[in-house]
Amino acid sequence: MCEVSVIIPNYNGKKYLKNCLDAMARQVYRDFEVILVDNGSEDGSVEYLQEYYPWVRLIALPENTGFCGGVNAGIRASKSPYVLLLNNDTIAEKYFIKNLAAAMKRHPNACSCQGKMMQLSDKSKMDDGGNYYCALGWAFADGKGRPEVNYTKEKQIFSSCAGAAIYSRKILDEIGYFDEAHFAYLEDLDVGYRARLYGYENWFCPKARVYHAGSGTSGSRYNLFKVRYSSRNNVYLIYKNMPLLQIIWNFPLLLLGFSCKALFFATKGFGREYLAGIKNGILLSKEHPDKKVKIRRPGTYFRNQWELYKNIIKFLKK
């Protein structure tokens, strides 16, 4: 059994695999395995992997189960105390795994530690320095597009981006894996939010550096699939992680936030898809009442609510 299982979900991402896996082969830290979960690719990814990377453990699923289904299959197949989730369109520096594993040991109450994600197209700029959620119902990545030299301090974050983050297997076993009803988008924010409700932490580790192409699977920043699933999952995220009284308390701000988003996507030509996603999110929530988080520590809700308020200011400053 290795200390770390690196799990890479893949869907028609053959063109990214060489750079991603070659970077894994160059890692200084050696007590790890790589599990690539293929989500029914039709671009020859499986055959390419079998021919050129026989040291990678392959799980070939017959159909696309989304990011959540893919990574869950990898987590279930692993036995390591740490699971490191990594997007296929990334290139990690050689101390990446070592520094993430060390960060988890420094923070025994951490559910996750995220690496420093920089833009592959411009390595001087940040891609993601930690994921945040605010009382307006907006999710955002810290530092996106800003100089990477400004993000050098290790710090607690609201949630880790699962594109380059390590998780405690023990804690995931306790709080639950990635919710496959999400399929894709905001699933990592859901896990981070849930971990906070259970009293755990999420951290940003800037020494674990990785370069990210971005939209390697979906293909673009805005598209019909991404807009609809993001708005759907946002409603589902709120339903799962906020008790009814907290939803009522936040409703005015949430209404404002969702209205602003609807207007924004309308200008991009995706207004109808955004509203359809909200409707689907309500229906999805009704289908999964068992997924609502039930915590006996009321203090965690008050702490998270205060964080949701603070993150409005953080978003406005970013």
Which of 212, 245, 270 marks a domain boundary? 212
Together in a domain, 153 and 133: yes
Is residue 237 assigned to a domain? yes
Contact 202, 245 (CB under 8 A): no
Look over the chain and give the mean of its residue pLDDT values, rounded to a whole number. Answer: 95
Together in a domain, 98 and 235: no
Taking the C-alpha atoms of residue 263 and residue 92, their distance in angstroms, rounded to an integer, is: 37
Together in a domain, 75 and 112: yes
Taking the C-alpha atoms of residue 14 and residue 183, their distance in angstroms, rounded to an integer, is: 21
Contact 202, 129 (CB under 8 A): no
Is residue 302 assigned to a domain? no
Over residues 79-90, the mean pLDDT reads: 98
Is residue 267 assigned to a domain? yes
Percent of the chain with pLDDT over 90: 92
What are φ and ψ of residue 53, in 5° steps? -135, 65
Together in a domain, 84 and 37: yes
Together in a domain, 168 and 104: yes
Q: Tell me the pLDDT band of 77, cut-offs 50, 70 and 90.
A: very high
pLDDT 10s digits, 1-35: 899 999 999 999 999 999 999 999 999 999 999 99
Q: What is the DSSP letter of 132?
A: E
Over residues 160-183, the mean pLDDT reads: 97
Taking the C-alpha atoms of residue 143 and residue 259, their distance in angstroms, rounded to an integer, is: 25
Among 82, 90, 80, residue whose Cα is nearest residue 10? 90
Is residue 313 assigned to a domain? no
Neighbours of 6 (CB within 10 A): 29
Q: Tokens for 287, please give them.
A: 């289908």
pLDDT 10s digits, 231-287: 999 999 999 999 999 999 999 999 999 999 999 999 999 999 999 999 999 999 999
Strands 32-39 and 57-61: parallel
Is residue 57 assigned to a domain? yes
Is residue 218 assigned to a domain? no
Together in a domain, 158 and 266: no
Over residues 192-198, the mean pLDDT reads: 96
Angle at 11 between CA 67 and CA 92, to 5 degrees: 80
Together in a domain, 138 and 186: yes
176: left (phi over 0), alpha (psi -120 to 50) or beta: left
Between residues 221 and 44, the one the model is more confident about: 44
Residue-number span of the structural domain to which 169 is assigned: 4-212
Q: Tell me the pLDDT band of 220, cut-offs 50, 70 and 90.
A: low
Q: What is the DSSP letter of 264?
A: H
Together in a domain, 70 and 13: yes
Residue 216 pLDDT exceeds 50: no
Together in a domain, 181 and 255: no
Taking the C-alpha atoms of residue 125 and residue 192, their distance in angstroms, rounded to an integer, is: 24
pLDDT 10s digits, 89-128: 999 999 999 999 999 999 999 999 999 999 999 999 999 9
Q: Tell me the pLDDT band of 318, cut-offs 50, 70 and 90.
A: confident
Together in a domain, 167 and 203: yes
Together in a domain, 191 and 228: no
From start to end of 97-185, where are the E strands? 110-119, 126-128, 131-133, 139-141, 155-157, 164-168
Q: Tell me the pLDDT band of 223, cut-offs 50, 70 and 90.
A: confident
Which of 149, 177, 212 marks a domain boundary? 212
Strand partners, 128: 117
pLDDT 10s digits, 196-207: 999 999 999 999
Taking the C-alpha atoms of residue 51 and residue 101, their distance in angstroms, rounded to an integer, is: 30
Q: What is the pLDDT of residue 296?
A: 72
Which CATH number covers residue 105?
3.90.550.10
Residues whose CB is less than 8 angstroms from the CB of residue 85 and which lie 6 or more positions away in sequence, other chains included = 7, 9, 71, 162, 163, 164, 165, 166, 167
Q: Tell me the pLDDT band of 215, cut-offs 50, 70 and 90.
A: low
Strands 90-92 and 155-157: unpaired
End-to-end CA distance of the chain: 42
Contact 132, 318 (CB under 8 A): no
Q: What is the pLDDT of residue 25?
A: 98
Contact 266, 231 (CB under 8 A): no
Together in a domain, 64 and 188: yes
Is residue 45 assigned to a domain? yes
Is residue 151 assigned to a domain? yes
Percent of the chain with pLDDT over 70: 98
Q: What is the DSSP letter of 271?
A: H
Domain count, the chain: 2
Q: Is the pTM of this model over 0.85?
A: yes
Residue 218 pLDDT exceeds 70: no
